[in-house]
A and B are shown apart, each in its own frame.
Chain A
Amino acid sequence: MSEILVECRALRRSFGSVQALRGVDLKLEPGKIVGLLGPNGSGKTTLIKILNGLLQPSSGEVRIDGRAPGVDTKELVSYLPDREYFPDWMRVSDALDFFQDFYADFDRARAEEMCRALELEQGRSIKTLSKGMREKLQLLLVMSRQARLYLLDEPIAGVDPAARDYILHTILTNYNPQGTVLISTHLISDVEQVLDEAVFLREGEVVLHEAVDSIRERTGQSVDSLFREMFRTGGREGGERNDR
């Protein structure tokens, strides 16, 4: 397939003297599940924020379906941030109404079905839900959209193994097959099974972008093993030390 859904060219972003992205070149095709893999501080969240228009790049170019990030591209992108974003006054039903009002591609019936499966009452105030339940609510809303691009920032960080299974299952069974899912994480072994492609990000640079099958065939090892090998040197990647 030659169509390009996401294109970044020489993308740079600095925060003061810190360079979070140092000339990222990346092309993503539709219909793929892509892992954006890198240790903490490698620039994953910065890249995702630029893709959905929350941050402006210092230089370089970004295109989503041929357009610069803006109001038009936000209709195509379904974003799960690495934090909770619902206001305290909302009930579950308010959150459903909100997504239905603002996103034409939101499938309310599917979202309600997932709420029922989780035994999540629509009258419940979101702030009274447990942290895990609030995260699941955000995920099910984001995955109930028939989006062209899903940007999921650390969806499995800090959750127990059962919740990880639920999250990955929800992603796999609900995403739009014509769309692309970009999952950022440093917990590679958990997501490797669902990925079509892997992008390794180190200190703001793409050091590898390859199909997962190709990686296994070429190196004879799993993506997780290759990642550990590539990022072992220097011990700079604090987030990875826990995984070793």
Chain B
Amino acid sequence: MIGKLIKYEFRSLWRRFLPLWAGLAALGLVNGFTITHVLENNRIEGLSNFLLGVLPLIMLIVLFTVLGVLTLVFICQRFYQGLLGREGYLMFTLPVSSAEHILAKTIAALLLTVLTGLAFLLSGTLLVLALDVKGFLEGMRDAFAALRQLELPRGIGWLITEGLVCGLVTAASSLLQIYAAIALGHLASRHRAGWSLLAYVGISMILSTGVFQLGSLGMGRAMERWLDRILDGGVNGAMSAMAAGMGFMILINLALAVVFFFLTKIILDKKLNLE
């Protein structure tokens, strides 16, 4: 059922995000050409050159920002409207558990974040490609050749994999914190968005206090030793320290994700308060 829920999450976002992703890629390409033109003419004076050289760049930066904000707003909106607004009457009468609803929203939001990140990357790549195709391709070729010749330390693959897992778990924990805050906020009869924001700030403050408490419990000294290993332990020492650090981050975020998940689940199961 989770797969089906994710399918409908994506049907709801395609029409909104595909044009934005495509626009971002196109603007990246356009900027590559316009910047090349301005650089070749060696000046940006005059209205036509300003329009050609600066305006597309401003548009690209604005679209970057808008897409980032829109992704976050969409993630919050899909959880609130999709489960706790009028759509909740449809979703919570499906033969689907609340745990499946929360997981589907989290996975869909993670995928959306990754896709938006890829759209940023594509836009940047197209910009560089349009600036100098030959130089870009040569640069890529040289980089890959250098990578092949480089003697990579053992265990680098594991470290990269651990890094990816750490990123995913941290992102999932952040998303689940947002969902828990929205679920808490929906318990109010009025001003639910405001209460959700307050709940989010409250949870963040509790987490910050927790970090300070860890510091006072001797984690500060452990951090110092950890940094020493990274800086003075050679490649192997640094790699094992980074692996340990990321392992710790994964565990902490996994624990937080579990807490936020069950907090949200309990509220949806026991205290659902649809509009």
Contact = CB atoms under 8 A, between A and B. Distances in A.
A56 B93 CA distance: 14
Interface footprint category on A:
20 to 34
A71 B101 CA distance: 12
B274 A54 contact: yes
Contacts of B274: 54
Given A94-B11, A101-B4, A85 B87 contact: yes
A102 B97 CA distance: 12
A16 B257 CA distance: 32
Interface of A: 52-56, 71-72, 74-75, 77, 79, 81, 83-87, 89, 94, 98, 101-103
B93 A72 contact: no
B73 interface: no
Given A74-B93, A81-B89, A89-B11, 15 more contacts: A52-B93, A53-B92, A54-B92, A54-B274, A74-B95, A77-B93, A79-B93, A85-B90, A87-B12, A87-B81, A94-B8, A94-B11, A101-B4, A102-B4, A102-B94
B12 A89 contact: yes
Contacts of B81: 87
Contacts of B87: 85-87
A102 B104 CA distance: 14
Interface string B1-23: 10010011001100110000000
Nearest to A91: B11
B93 A53 contact: yes
Which applies to chain A's interface (DSSP): helix, strand, loop or mixed? Answer: loop
Given A85-B86, A85-B87, A87-B12, A54 B96 contact: no
Contacts of B88: 54, 85
A50 to B, nearest CB: 11
A74 B270 CA distance: 16
14 contacts: A54-B89, A54-B92, A54-B272, A56-B271, A56-B272, A71-B96, A74-B94, A75-B95, A85-B90, A86-B87, A87-B81, A94-B8, A102-B4, A103-B94
Contacts of A75: 95
Nearest to A141: B90
A72 B95 contact: yes
Contacts of A72: 95
Of B4, B95, B96, B97, the most chain A CB neighbours within 10 A belong to B95
A85 B96 contact: no
Given A85-B86, A89-B15, A102 B92 contact: no
Contacts of B1: 102
Contacts of B93: 52-54, 74, 77, 79
B82 interface: yes
Interface string B240-275: 000000000000000000000000000001111010
Contacts of B97: 71
A52 B91 CA distance: 12
A103 B96 CA distance: 10
Contacts of B92: 53-54
Contacts of B269: 56
Contacts of B16: 89
Interface in B1-52: 1, 4, 7-8, 11-12, 15-16
Contacts of A103: 94-95
A79 B89 CA distance: 9
A87 B88 CA distance: 10
Contacts of B94: 74, 102-103
A227 B270 CA distance: 35
Contacts of A98: 8
A56 B269 CA distance: 8
A84 B86 contact: yes
A126 to B, nearest CB: 12
A77 B89 CA distance: 13
Nearest to B270: A56
Of B11, B15, B96, the most chain A CB neighbours within 10 A belong to B11
Given A54-B272, A55-B272, A94-B11, A86 B90 contact: yes
A155 to B, nearest CB: 14
A87 B82 contact: yes
A101 B274 CA distance: 24
Contacts of A54: 88-89, 92-93, 272, 274
A72 to B, nearest CB: 7
A83 B272 contact: no
Contacts of A86: 87, 90
Interface string B73-114: 000000001100011111011111100000000000000000
Of B270, B271, B274, the most chain A CB neighbours within 10 A belong to B274
A106 to B, nearest CB: 12
